Structure 1
Amino acid sequence: MARLYVRSGIVPDDPDAAFPILVVDPDGTPGERAMARLGGHCYEGDGAFYLVRTDGWAERSVDSGRLAVGIAVHPVPLRQAGTDPADFPERSAIDPDAVLIVEARTTVDPELRARLSEPTVVFTAGPDVTLDELLADDEEWPIMLAPPPSEA
């Protein structure tokens, strides 16, 4: 199951900025495996991989103090990553052509939630790897996901 965290202090130029960080298991659920494979279809830049916003994005919502992050992806990039979009019945609230492949929730302190910045950060790692280990590893590049196109 995907793990969701919110952390600040990970950007030296803006230590107060908080980011949602999703950790997906490459051997986990079908959605986690699909997210891990999408990393191979991102473009590289500045120590991270970026999924083009027209291919997929991160949708966020808050309910009763819990942050939910869902990853929405269009069918074409999913097929290119070797995943059948028909395996994912849930659709994006922003674009019904996009499917939701992963969703995770976590409780977030309101003060930290108020400082949430873009993008959503996604790491691929097994359940035995901690977030602190991922953040300390300069060779582990995350996938960066922008907000939905309509929120740009």
Structure 2
Amino acid sequence: MKYEMHQLCEVRAQLEKFNERHACDAQWVESHGARHDSDSQCVIATREGDDKVVGYMIIVPRTCSSDVMCIYSTVVRRGMRKQGVCRAMLDLAKEHYSRFWSVCSISVAPVWLRLGATVKPRQGFYAEYELEINATPVKQWS
């Protein structure tokens, strides 16, 4: 597998092609409190060889009081969970954001419990979970 981080706005069309019914458009980002679309990042997992997308993790930073929080929404093709795709994407995201944050706590919940029935797992895809990172900024976002 190959894992890369991109700005969400740069790869949105690719994600929508991967899973048309997953709301990874500007409305989704705005509804999760991102200040600017350019703040939102995305980790994409692709298969070596044919570069087929097998999963992605949308990362939406937002400000809450004095803490900086991040929501991870993960979607992978069925059968990919056991191959460690979700964990590898999370590790890349944590590595990227450790430059900005000192992570205080991580809470995990099934995404469909947090956000409602519209994001229940659908045929061929598995909406893994949402991770909420409560963190203290190491340095301010520019």
TM value normalised by structure 1? 0.28
Judging by fraction of residues, say which structure has more strand: 2
TM value normalised by structure 2? 0.30
